[in-house]
């Protein structure tokens, strides 16, 4: 029976196709993890250290807004020089500058600390 399988070229094509698909999935997943692993860490608001964001190497995040007991969960993605933060339920997405291991929020953001427009920087610890 094995002799028949070895002689059928269709079996070899199917096996090669499956192996190729497996390799593509493994390498594409690995690249994402490598990219996020350099970004992963705690990013602390330089003006209010109780306000920080945890970025995990698997692309997930936990946001700890300072002065509250609320915790937000979501995902993040690096897009060029920007970081895109998305809530788990996909209802909220924000895109900010990501430079020199810092998340910089500076375009029309209303600070909940000052009540006005302010540049807020989260620095990697």
pLDDT digits (tens, 9 = 90+) for 38-71: 899 999 988 888 989 999 999 999 999 887 888 9
pLDDT of residue 24: 43
Closest to 122 in 3D by CA, of 93, 111, 91, 59 = 111
Strand partners, 42: 54
DSSP string, 56-93: -TTSEEEEE-TT-S--EEEEEEEETTEEEEEETTSS-E
The phi-psi region of residue 100 (left if phi > 0; otherwise alpha if psi is between -120 and 50; otherwise beta) is left
pLDDT of residue 106: 73
The answer to whether 104 and 61 have CB atoms below 8 angstroms apart is no
Domains of the chain: 3-124 (2.40.128.290)
The answer to whether 70 and 58 have CB atoms below 8 angstroms apart is no
Measured distance CA(55)–CA(98) in Å, rounded:
13
> What is the pTM for the complete model shown?
0.64
pLDDT of residue 99: 86
pLDDT of residue 107: 54
**Higher model confidence: residue 66 or residue 32?**
66
């Amino acid at each position: 029976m094995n002799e028949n399988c070895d002689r059928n070229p269709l079996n070899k094509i199917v096996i090669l196709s499956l192996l190729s698909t497996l390799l593509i999935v493994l390498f594409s997943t690995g690249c994402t993890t490598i990219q996020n692993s350099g970004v992963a860490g705690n990013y602390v608001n330089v003006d209010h250290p109780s306000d920080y964001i945890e970025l995990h190497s698997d692309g997930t995040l936990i946001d700890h807004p300072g002065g509250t007991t609320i915790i937000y969960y979501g995902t993040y993605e690096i897009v060029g020089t920007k970081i895109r933060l998305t809530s788990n339920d996909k209802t909220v997405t924000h895109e900010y500058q990501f430079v020199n291991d810092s998340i910089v929020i500076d375009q029309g953001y209303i600070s909940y600390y000052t009540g006005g427009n302010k540049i807020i920087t989260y620095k990697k610890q």
